[in-house]
Amino acid sequence: MKHKLLAIFLILAAPVASAQLFKVSNQGAILDESSQEHRCVLDDRSKLVWEVKLNQTGLQNTLNTYTWFDGKTGTQNGDYSHNCHWIKLCNTQAYVKAINNLQLCQQTQWRLPTESELRTLLVYGDNDLLINQSFFNNTQLKSYWSSDQLDDDIAIDVPFFYGGSKSADKSFDAYVRLVSDAH
């Protein structure tokens, strides 16, 4: 039923050119724009659902960082892979698996976004933090991993602030904001 609700909403919202972001509950329901209880954000233009970070200890804590690891390349358990509040292996693969098991916002295909997908969240203006803070209020003024990589040792990250780098060694830690295709 919840998947049907989201699917019907996607069909109805598609022709609305001015609308872009909608708050989503953990049960997959669209919430009022003023709600502070949202766990995800639906971008109706791209048909992507974005994870929202929480300001509480646990799996989705806004301060958790991860090393880049996909099961083949990167760092599964290194010097910088101990900076999360929920598990010993603070790497991107372990985090994606945990969020998929949680079925956050009724989605089960969470993944690291591509660089171009992450860049759709950037909002340039007078704020140092380059994201819509009404929807992504717990975003850090740092870089977030993408799924893209330059080689076996370097992955692309996207800074949500002016002057950030565009790539980093996979053994370093960075923040993560997962994405899922809406269904």
pTM, full prediction: 0.86
Q: Domain extents for the chain?
A: 2-181
What is the 3-class SS of the chain, one letter each residue? CHHHHHHHHHHHHCCCCCCCEEEECCCCCECCCCCCCCCEEEECCCCEEEECCECCCCCCECCCCEECECCCCECCCCCCCCCCCCCCCCEHHHHHHHHHHHCHHHCCCCECCCHHHHHCCCCCCCCCCCCCCCCCCCCCCCEEEEEEECCCCEEEEEECCCCCCCEEECCCEEECCCEEECC
Tens-binned pLDDT, residue by residue, of the chain (183 aa): 555 444 434 433 443 333 489 999 999 999 999 999 999 999 999 999 999 999 998 899 999 999 999 999 998 887 776 778 777 778 999 999 999 999 999 999 999 999 999 999 988 887 788 899 999 999 998 999 999 999 999 999 999 887 666 899 999 999 999 999 997
